[in-house]
A and B are shown apart, each in its own frame.
Chain A
């Protein structure tokens, strides 16, 4: 196995590991909601 392949395999393992961690904690950077800090209230329409 070449060094390049080994490093890429490590990279893939790292990505898979982060993905699995994200799944274990059911986390996403794009989730709309999360644990409350302050109440935000109502927002207006996004239409022009």
Chain B
């Protein structure tokens, strides 16, 4: 029994040369057996190569286009080697021109290399019809596309190379496009057929590697299927930012500090003279801590209390000081009763080192004479009110303000990226036939 012969792929169609009946030039046929029409590279005449005699379809004396990718050039795109065999210039009835290269590989068939405003896409004709998901959305497998360009009309303005159909300058098809980030779904329709092509956006690096195309400057406004450079990163960045902030929050909870404890009470003199009291000792156990002081003056009304705090370390006599004032005012005017200020005043002293401290409070009570210039008949400082000051203390490490600053610093790059992302998406959508008036105005 003979061993089974290995299955060999079909041989690639051989390149074939023919003579242009218009100019006599030698025209290479790169996809012989598949190609129907070929445009002469010397005189741009269209030749029908299905006839052994090579019929002249149309004669053109147009200048040869200076192609970015000369026909016959081979390049590897997404793992497959393609050869550029045909070139089309197309437009929307003479406006908004774009270029299309027909690529050929004997084992993979045809693809389109489409260049629009400096951006390149690799187009593959679909063998299935997309599903309508909603009035403006189509589905192809797991991908969803949103309607971007409504019905337009594309015409062929210039032809070079060979094609698998009878291409002609002036040939027109009805077009419509749907997009998703990174891909565009294009429908082309003529009297005989409807074809669907999925155009995958190629990166400048891919085009440079495959065909040596130099990257262009920034494309603006963006292409319809160009993904926002900030969209994907925003998701990753938001996760990173949330992680960082969660860490800070846990850190702040653990090092937030102690609860308030009473440090002492002291009376307020009725004559408003300067007074002084020493409270303590206050033991601070950590290398550094913040000390928060809160004064409460329950009887305070239409007046203020100046408070000068001095934390004095018993051994080194080093002083840490802060100033606070409790102010409370009230009255009545044409709008009715009003009040402002607070009977409580809180201050903090940062970076206080370890040690045993006395808290010296110098304070002075004041009466407000009011808008009229006359003080209340009964002052809050009157001995009958028995005004006292209650001082509480707590120590800590993490300031809420530091947490807010950190949150702002973590969020700032994300906010910037979000602004850029919105600007990008607004510019991209402004090109759509379905753009809202706001997006059009932004253009």
Q: A40 — nearest CB in chain B belongs to which residue?
A: B323
Q: B347 — nearest CB in chain A belongs to which residue?
A: A32
Within 8 A of A (CB), among B150-173: none
CB–CB B321/A39 < 8 A: yes
When distances are taken between beta carbons in the complex, the residues of chain A under 8 Å from B413 are: 8, 11
B129, CB-defined interface residue at 8 Å: no
Q: A12 — nearest CB in chain B belongs to which residue?
A: B244
Size class of A's contact patch? 35 or more
Q: How far is the CA of A45 from the CA of B398 in the complex (A)?
A: 30
Tell me whether A42 and B321 are in contact in the complex, defined as CB-CB below 8 angstroms, given that A26-B290, A28-B350 are known contacts.
no
Question: Which of B193-201, B216-224, B324-332 lines the interface with chain A?
Answer: B324-332
Q: B349 — nearest CB in chain A belongs to which residue?
A: A33
CB–CB A29/B244 < 8 A: no
Shortest C-beta distance, B222 to chain A (Å), equals 18
Shortest C-beta distance, B240 to chain A (Å), equals 6
Tell me which of A18, A28, A34 has the highest count of chain B C-beta atoms within 10 A of its own C-beta: A28
CB–CB A26/B309 < 8 A: no
Chain A, residues 1-45, CB within 8 Å of chain B (1/0): the string is: 010110011011101101110111111111111111001111101
CB–CB B396/A26 < 8 A: yes
CB–CB A45/B320 < 8 A: no
CB–CB B341/A34 < 8 A: no
Tell me whether A19 and B403 are in contact in the complex, defined as CB-CB below 8 angstroms, given that A5-B236, A5-B237, A47-B304 are known contacts.
yes
Q: A28 — nearest CB in chain B belongs to which residue?
A: B399
When distances are taken between beta carbons in the complex, the residues of chain A under 8 Å from B261 are: none
Q: How far is the CA of A25 from the CA of B410 in the complex (A)?
A: 21
B379, CB-defined interface residue at 8 Å: no
Shortest C-beta distance, B305 to chain A (Å), equals 10
Shortest C-beta distance, A46 to chain B (Å), equals 7
Within the complex, which residue of A16, A22, A35 is in contact with B244, where a contact is CB–CB below 8 Å? A16
Shortest C-beta distance, A15 to chain B (Å), equals 5
Q: B252 — nearest CB in chain A belongs to which residue?
A: A23
When distances are taken between beta carbons in the complex, the residues of chain A under 8 Å from B237 are: 4-5, 8
Within the complex, which residue of A11, A20, A34, A45 is in contact with B351, where a contact is CB–CB below 8 Å? A34
CB–CB A23/B402 < 8 A: yes
CB–CB B351/A35 < 8 A: yes
When distances are taken between beta carbons in the complex, the residues of chain A under 8 Å from B210 are: none
Shortest C-beta distance, B26 to chain A (Å), equals 50
Tell me whether A45 and B247 are in contact in the complex, defined as CB-CB below 8 angstroms, given that A31-B349, A36-B319 are known contacts.
no
B241, CB-defined interface residue at 8 Å: yes
Q: How far is the CA of A15 from the CA of B240 in the complex (A)?
A: 12
Within 8 A of A (CB), among B306-365: 306, 308-310, 318-325, 327, 329, 340-341, 347-352, 364
CB–CB A43/B327 < 8 A: no
Shortest C-beta distance, A7 to chain B (Å), equals 9
CB–CB A32/B349 < 8 A: yes
B409, CB-defined interface residue at 8 Å: yes
Within the complex, which residue of B320, B323, B368, B401 is in contact with A43, where a contact is CB–CB below 8 Å? B323
Within the complex, which residue of A11, A27, A33 is in contact with B347, where a contact is CB–CB below 8 Å? A33
Shortest C-beta distance, B351 to chain A (Å), equals 5
B366, CB-defined interface residue at 8 Å: yes
When distances are taken between beta carbons in the complex, the residues of chain A under 8 Å from B62 are: none
Chain B, residues 393-424, CB within 8 Å of chain A (1/0): the string is: 00011110111011001100100000000000
Q: A14 — nearest CB in chain B belongs to which residue?
A: B409
CB–CB A45/B304 < 8 A: yes
CB–CB B399/A22 < 8 A: yes
Q: How far is the CA of A35 from the CA of B236 in the complex (A)?
A: 43
Q: How far is the CA of A20 from the CA of B240 in the complex (A)?
A: 18
Sample (12) of A-B pairs whose CB atoms are under 8 Å apart: A8-B237, A11-B410, A25-B288, A26-B351, A28-B350, A29-B401, A31-B348, A35-B318, A36-B321, A45-B304, A46-B325, A47-B327
New contact pairs (18) apart from A12-B410, A23-B402, A46-B327, CB-CB < 8 Å: A2-B236, A5-B240, A12-B240, A12-B243, A19-B251, A26-B397, A28-B290, A33-B309, A33-B347, A34-B350, A34-B351, A35-B320, A35-B351, A42-B274, A42-B308, A43-B306, A47-B304, A47-B329
